[in-house]
Structure 1
């Protein structure tokens, strides 16, 4: 019995030493965000000199079940390896908080980039280049039976070289089966879909609605659905009516937007269907290597559009 107790004490001591060593790897620079998930802190690695973001999530008040769910979501993050998804580095727990270390995107978020336009509309090529990268990230997520559930311009980031990366999977949910539907109403109000507002079941098509909200934002520099209070906002979202985008943009782009905003989730395209559209598909090879295209897609999808991915080894 005494041996077992001593062993446990040694184990606890070793874990504390390990956590301390991890904490010492990062020098705190500044707090860069705070939300329902907790704090986002910009840090600098003492090992490689690079900057990272540490998300600090208070788990001390969570139930054991909620803590396990948080740890499972970290495990999901660890397996998300894609050029258009913010890269997870490591995680650890200390003093009742869960810390998640992620890459830092120097270019800021898409929301700030949109606001920086000061009313000057983006060129369509720029919008579509960003949009296809967001779709590639979302495809990677949905193909793994995961809902992001908080897609918004503040959670879409730009790297130093202008690459788009989808981040903040803080409330992502792993689907246990392809037919499981999540009923939890979480997310930013402007991006909520009609079915969530009506407390109806939803699946990946709610992410598609939010994707439409982001596309609309890029086209107009405004939210598709706005109101002075939550009640009127919900009524607007449920009605599905929104101000049209400028005729300056192509029919293909405007038509896609109307498809993403279909009130019935079943009528919205999947992210795979979006990526099969000719004017979208032809841009994919700008952002993914031939080998990665082969890994992410079936080859026949691209033969229609003249894109010839090289089979992966």
Structure 2
């Protein structure tokens, strides 16, 4: 046992490792694990990492953010490069932990190995440096943490989700094996998930070069529940050992616990060596067959990675192209794609999915391409979340996941229920009521924005870059975070002044404002009510609770969409209401009752915000680097913009045109 590598005092963590996950109910030391060595006081009390870290060789400065994870060997922090606001996950290893040559060699080997890896499903290595206190390893930041965090919140996942994650793990693993690298520590905590719900394989602290059977390392290293029989029997590591761990991962995600987990570590090892585990009847037959074919005692009897992908579990089962962020904490609603969906995906790749051509298309060709794409989307009703054209008296709104172009009128029962709610508020607990008979409709907001953009684009001269932006744009409210839970409740969003709102599926809207002290509620007939949060009617408590749940989820799991660089913060009292939201495969469009419009592009996280100020518009563009620039729309029309921004403005305009004519 003295050569095991899973003792937390001997292991270092990568990115957001959670050391408490997979720990058996009984402490492992009671089952024979060696106790942690006594440490000196200097080792036990680590000095606090400075708020500002400077690379003396390059002169670059990094601001320390929140702690992402920690282990016995290292800590991982979120850090921001102050030169460009780029964010990283930074593994910080104290120099005191690598004072011995073999410890230093281990870190050096990890760095040198990780530097050579370039793959979509492997955590990106950026750079590293050290000072007298620490070694700093800068890695790709995966904002949705790891599969271990998702597993902890969900306990079990559905078959389509497991297929989705396994495909990406296998893709990354095939890449490693093709380069002669064994990971040797595959577990949920080492599969990181980025903002787009894409998986990245990380933590190469135990990775090693593939060797012949005679040369294979006989060290027992990895996580106890995921160790292969040949590793425990000191027969060495091969690619088959990683495949075994993959089978354990699949079992854990589907069943809620690792296959060989027991209360006693020795018993766990015995179960692994004897391949003694049970398959719950709740598993699909295909899943049971695949797990059985992977968890074979003899390494040569196990399926290869290619054979796993060819198995009926994958070939006959639906795998989603992507998962919604809500899948981190709840079961997502997943539907197999229709032929129309496949058509639109193919069309969309022609616009967003390829590298930029060195020869830029002329505006006419570009406009025709975008028009074909958007009209194809509207024609085939792809990803349409438009459920009404206007909001009027006695007209319901249901913007969640419906393909109907317009919502039906209230049924008599719904109408009476709505009137009853309205009567119960009137003249009692509501501090103010207002009927906005001349309120803007989604169609009016879309049409006004479309006309303004068309006017701008029609006069816009060719330019290679954007004009100088406003030095200090006036503060305005925009959406910094959002979550689509329309399969059950509605669409939630957080504004830049920290107010949070949800547009519910039945068309009502509830917002928590002024640091959640005030509640704004809007009925489908545009009648608004304002309450103090501590005096909210009983009828609205459930909706308020849902808004709070979404707010907490966004606070804990989502990063803000960029930095506008305004000296002033928008007024906390400003609370524009979301009138409607629409989604394509590449963008989210949000229309607000103050005449503003926001479009978020998924692939590169750029954003276009059109703010209505008096009788004119100000356009704010948030770039891939999360940096913002604001311009009066009239200035862009006179001076031109970069091809990147012009391309997005044309896409938005075409989308609004087809929406207005739908």
C-alpha separation between the residues in 2 aligned to 1:141 and 1:62? Answer: 30
Deviation at 1:143, TM superposition (A): 0.8
1:35 aligns with 2:71: yes
CA spacing shift, 1:177–1:265, aligned 2, 3 Å: closer
- Cα deviation code 1:261-295 (max 9, x no counterpart): 111112112223323446537989958xxxxxxxx
Cα RMSD after superposing both structures:
2.7
Q: Tell me the equivalent position of 1:260.
A: 294
Q: Tell me the equivalent position of 1:229.
A: 264
Q: Tell me the equivalent position of 2:578.
A: none
C-alpha separation between the residues in 2 aligned to 1:160 and 1:236? Answer: 38
Q: Tell me the equivalent position of 2:81.
A: 45
- Cα deviation code 1:93-146 (max 9, x no counterpart): 3226432110111111111111212x5x42211110111111101111111111
- Cα deviation code 1:203-254 (max 9, x no counterpart): 12111111111101111121111122221111121121212134442x3322
- Higher helix fraction (1 or 2): 1
C-alpha separation between the residues in 1 aligned to 2:81 and 2:67? Answer: 15
CA spacing shift, 1:246–1:45, aligned 2, 3 Å: farther
C-alpha separation between the residues in 2 aligned to 1:278 and 1:189? Answer: 29
Q: Tell me the equivalent position of 1:308.
A: none
1:90 aligns with 2:124: no
1:181 aligns with 2:190: no
Structure 1 SS opposite 2:287 = helix
Structure 1 SS opposite 2:307 = helix
Give 4+ residue runs of structure 1 displaced > 6 Å after superposition: 281-285
Q: Tell me the equivalent position of 2:147.
A: 110
C-alpha separation between the residues in 2 aligned to 1:97 and 1:44? Answer: 17
C-alpha separation between the residues in 2 aligned to 1:96 and 1:199? Answer: 37
Q: Tell me the equivalent position of 1:299.
A: none
Question: Equivalent residues in 2 for 1:174-213 (5 A)?
Answer: 174-175=209-210, 180-213=215-248
CA spacing shift, 1:102–1:246, aligned 2, 3 Å: farther
Tell me if structure 2 keeps the 8 A contact 1:220–1:246: no
C-alpha separation between the residues in 2 aligned to 1:37 and 1:204? Answer: 27
C-alpha separation between the residues in 1 aligned to 2:55 and 2:237? Answer: 39
1:78 aligns with 2:115: yes
Tell me if structure 2 keeps the 8 A contact 1:37–1:170: no
* Aligned partner of 1:57 among 93, 112, 117: 93
CA spacing shift, 1:37–1:206, aligned 2, 3 Å: farther
TM-score, normalised with respect to structure 1:
0.76
The higher-RCO structure (CA 8 Å, 6+ apart) is 1
TM-score, normalised with respect to structure 2:
0.38
Number of residue pairs the alignment of both structures matches: 267
Q: Tell me the equivalent position of 1:300.
A: none
C-alpha separation between the residues in 1 aligned to 2:226 and 2:273? Answer: 12
Deviation at 1:177, TM superposition (A): 5.8
Deviation at 1:37, TM superposition (A): 4.2
Deviates more, 1:222-231 or 1:51-60: 51-60
C-alpha separation between the residues in 2 aligned to 1:284 and 1:92? Answer: 41
1:273 aligns with 2:294: no
C-alpha separation between the residues in 2 aligned to 1:248 and 1:285? Answer: 19
Tell me if structure 2 keeps the 8 A contact 1:259–1:268: yes
Between Structure 1 and Structure 2, whose CA radius of gyration is higher?
Answer: 2
Q: Tell me the equivalent position of 1:67.
A: 104
Deviation at 1:153, TM superposition (A): 0.3
Structure 1 SS opposite 2:111 = helix
C-alpha separation between the residues in 2 aligned to 1:272 and 1:20? Answer: 47
1:148 aligns with 2:180: no
Deviation at 1:31, TM superposition (A): 2.3
Tell me if structure 1 keeps the 8 A contact 2:114–2:125: yes
C-alpha separation between the residues in 2 aligned to 1:197 and 1:109? Answer: 27
Deviation at 1:149, TM superposition (A): 0.9
Structure 2 SS opposite 1:127 = helix
Deviation at 1:87, TM superposition (A): 0.8
Deviation at 1:24, TM superposition (A): 4.4
